[in-house]
Amino acid sequence: MRAVTKLVSGWTFHTSFSSDLVATAEPGTAVRLPHNAVDLEMTYLDERSYQKEFGYQYALAWQPTWAGREVSLRFDGAMANSVVWVNGQQVAAHKDGYTPFSARLTGLLKEGDNLITVKIDGSENPEIPPFGGQIDYLTYAGIYRDVWLQVTDTVSIANLKVETANELSDTKSATVKGFLANPTQAAYTGSALVELCTAEGTVLHQQTVEVSGAEFSASFEALAGLSLWNIDSPVLYMARVTLNTSAGQDQLSTRFGFRTAHFTTEGFFLNGKHLKIRGLNRHQSYPYVGYAMGQRAQEKDADVMKDVLKCNLVRTSHYPQSTYFLDRCDEIGLLVFEEIPGWQHIGGQAWQDESVENVRRMVERDWNHPSIIIWGVRINESQDHHDFYTRTNAMARSLDSTRQTGGVRYIENSELLEDVYTVNDFCHVATPEWMKGIAPTPLRQPRQVTGLDHEVPYLITEFNGHMYPTKRIDPEDRQAEHVSRHLQVLNKAYENPVISGAIGWCMYDYNTHKDFGAGDRICHHGVMDIFREPKFAAWGYTSQCSPAEQVVLEPVTYWARGEKDRCEVLPLIVLTNCDYVELKVGDFLPKRAEPDRERYPHLPHAPVIFDSRHVNMSDLGAWGMLWRDATVTGFINGKAVSTVKLSGNPLPTTLQVQVDDTVLRADEKDATRVIVRTLDQVGRLLPFLDEVVQVEVTGAAQLLGPELLPLKGGTTGFWVETTGAVGDITVRVSTRRMGEQVLTLHAE
Ligand code: GAL
């Protein structure tokens, strides 16, 4: 049987690499994994700081139980170019920062300590994807995912693949394929017990198959009483294989689900039912620590996408992301578009070979995730390349016949080698008054883009982003335009049945190179800020959910007399899924408005827009007159279901400090997020409050990032990370004008 241990602590980090490290343990900094080689400033950072070589060392103490067994290290992800030695001998080299790799230690270990040395080269090496051109994101160096010590018998299970069929029938089928690891090519005989279980492990069906070569397969037919995996009810099952051979025993399990997913010329169908895709792109980065965030933070992003943004799909732009993130997508019913590493640039032959390998590594790692519905097998936004993309498509199809391929481009008339024409459509440009009527449409028509005389499966993979970057601190007018642009594209995508859906750019702001962003090394492209705190545009997505799930009522306003031009508050957009909304200002009679179906006829829930059709500006008073409180009320079936108060006299009243989780793991590098909000008397953010937030974390955790944080748009955030100690964690947050809040968390 296998023994698998996560190697969290005990690592030594070296800020530079010298060949001495290969065979000699040198004093360095004690670190835990996942680890970021160079922590960065939030803004105006120097992205060259991590583009060099680093070293990690680990003393692996020999265990007598390993005698005669296979011992290896599995790296879930290290950026960008890794070499691993044991006792001075090279055992692995991996030229990709996003996929896992193993280092076989068998036969090279001695009694006592064994020196593991890992060289990580964080340079943007033009020989390996995605490098060679400029890229609009950072690839933070380090062993930024987990490392596992794996001990098995000579013959073990390397991987499992579950393929389902007849998913929509009452009697479903599943085939479980096993791939064996047999590094010494030992001769053996044996069998595998293959069990289909509930996610919790209750056995539902089982069979035993003979095992002789490198692979085996067990087919299950006429499986009754099983449920589908879908976004509302993501039922998972587990395939568990127990291997029993003359050269070793092993057990491995994987989760899977029964579902069908098809992109067609009539849109996307999940389990035979039409589903319009409404998604956002996600980078896997966090402030200061880059990619080095563990399970909890990864899972939280998936939860935010599903529960806060109410999206049904996430695109892992532009690389395979953490399996913790993907596992969570399986559990909560969030669809995934996963793609290989790359950004616009295609390198030479060796580079392309590595990229084709990346397709293989991605598919083999992730083929059992029911949430993944399409493989992205092009370098994001690259030009056509017949030979290269013929190979990437062939690789994906040969490994997985159950999923379609896509390849994200922005060019028109692109050669369609994939199953789905996936395109970034950034045609939506400014629509000033004088252009009304002649303004370009928010989206091009599929045939215009494909250049084909017939429809093909078609999906919008990005829109907005750099066409309208919007900072959290930007004025209300800009926030409103940001909202409108996201909604206009979504509306257009909903209109056209050929379009499977649209995936906006992007979920949250991210750090980037000097060649992109606002000069501060941030692309302010998110519908959320870098802390995953919603900007107004986020509510545009949220409000598309059914009110049965959540009633949404979010007026896009700072409600101030003089924030917008001409001291107007109109037009006032209210993002909502209510039937109608009333706006009551001071003692004036309430004004009622219905969802604006004229402008947004196709959205599930058009926003309500108060303008001169509903409100006489003089009712709100002119410049020089009294400014009043207001109330926005949403109604469903004639009943008031939600109310938002807007203060005409906002003053700093509440310092709100909200933590995602209060119980953390001490044995892992476990991190949780804290959001700080400064609120007025009625609970609205104070968007222009100039205050500095002082943070102090004591006890069994540390603060990630600086202790002094400026409020931006009335809010800021940070992550708290366990240190390995067990016990209480005290988080103190204060500002000069708003006093102090204290949270107590616990690491156990
Ligand atoms: C796209 C690109 C994304 C991001 C986006 C910004 O061209 O694929 O990675 O840079 O633009 O809008």
Task: Give the model's pLDDT for residue 1.
Answer: 86
Alpha-carbon distance of 266 to 456, in angstroms, equals: 9
**Tens digits of residue pLDDT in 13-42:** 999 999 999 999 999 999 999 999 999 999
Q: What is the mean pLDDT of the chain?
A: 96
Catalytic residue among 381, 554, 568, 668: 381
Strand, coil or helix: what is 586? coil
Q: Span 367-382, mean pLDDT?
A: 98
Verify whether ligand 1 is closer than 6 Å to residue 134 (CB atom): no
Asked if residue 747 lies in contact with residue 665, where contact means CB atoms within 8 angstroms, the answer is yes
Is the pLDDT score of 687 beyond 80? yes
The distance of Cα 111 from the centroid of its chain, to the nearest Å, equals 43
**Beta strand extents in 246-364 (DSSP E only):** 248-256, 261-264, 267-270, 273-274, 277-281, 313-316, 335-339
Asked if residue 75 lies in contact with residue 101, where contact means CB atoms within 8 angstroms, the answer is yes
- Sorting pLDDT into bands at 50, 70 and 90, what band is 437? low
Verify whether ligand 1 is closer than 6 Å to residue 466 (CB atom): yes
Strand, coil or helix: what is 489? helix
Task: Give the model's pLDDT for residue 614.
Answer: 85
Task: Give the model's pLDDT for residue 568.
Answer: 86
Please count the CA atoms within 13 angstroms of the CA of 106 that sit on its side-chain side: 17
Verify whether ligand 1 is closer than 6 Å to residue 316 (CB atom): no
Pocket test for ligand 1, best of 466, 470, 512, 522 (most atoms within 8 A of CB): 466
**Tens digits of residue pLDDT in 690-746:** 999 999 999 999 999 999 999 999 999 999 999 999 999 999 999 999 999 999 999
Alpha-carbon distance of 459 to 499, in angstroms, equals: 6
Task: Give the model's pLDDT for residue 451.
Answer: 96
- Sorting pLDDT into bands at 50, 70 and 90, what band is 429? low
Pocket test for ligand 1, best of 378, 426, 462, 522 (most atoms within 8 A of CB): 462
Task: Give the model's pLDDT for residue 616.
Answer: 80
**Tens digits of residue pLDDT in 146-197:** 999 999 999 999 999 999 999 999 999 999 999 999 999 999 999 999 999 9
Task: Give the model's pLDDT for residue 615.
Answer: 82
- Sorting pLDDT into bands at 50, 70 and 90, what band is 524? very high
DSSP characters over 178-235: EEEE-TT-----EEEEEEEEETT--EEEEEEEEE-SSEEEEEEEEE-S---B-SSSB-
Is the pLDDT score of 10 beyond 90? yes
Q: Span 674-690, mean pLDDT?
A: 98
Q: Span 204-224, mean pLDDT?
A: 97
- Sorting pLDDT into bands at 50, 70 and 90, what band is 412? very high
Task: Give the model's pLDDT for residue 622.
Answer: 77
Is the pLDDT score of 554 beyond 80? yes
**Beta strand extents in 398-538 (DSSP E only):** 404-409, 420-424, 458-462, 499-504, 510-511, 522-523
Task: Give the model's pLDDT for residue 623.
Answer: 83
Alpha-carbon distance of 178 to 82, in angstroms, equals: 28
Is the pLDDT score of 333 beyond 90? yes
For residue 466, give the ligand 1 atom closest to its CA. Answer: 12
Task: Give the model's pLDDT for residue 523.
Answer: 98
**Tens digits of residue pLDDT in 257-307:** 999 999 999 999 999 999 999 999 999 999 999 999 999 999 999 999 999
Is the pLDDT score of 140 beyond 70? yes
Would you call 462 a catalytic residue per the annotation? yes
DSSP characters over 261-281: EEEETTEEEETTEE--EEEEE
Q: Span 68-85, mean pLDDT?
A: 97
Verify whether ligand 1 is closer than 6 Å to residue 463 (CB atom): no
**Ligand 1: residue whose CA is nearest its atom 3:** 136
Is the pLDDT score of 434 beyond 80? no
Task: Give the model's pLDDT for residue 435.
Answer: 52
Is the pLDDT score of 432 beyond 90? no
Would you call 381 a catalytic residue per the annotation? yes
**Tens digits of residue pLDDT in 306-330:** 999 999 999 999 999 999 999 999 9
Q: Of the candidates 519, 536, 509, 637, which has an alpha carbon nearest to the alpha carbon of residue 580?
A: 637
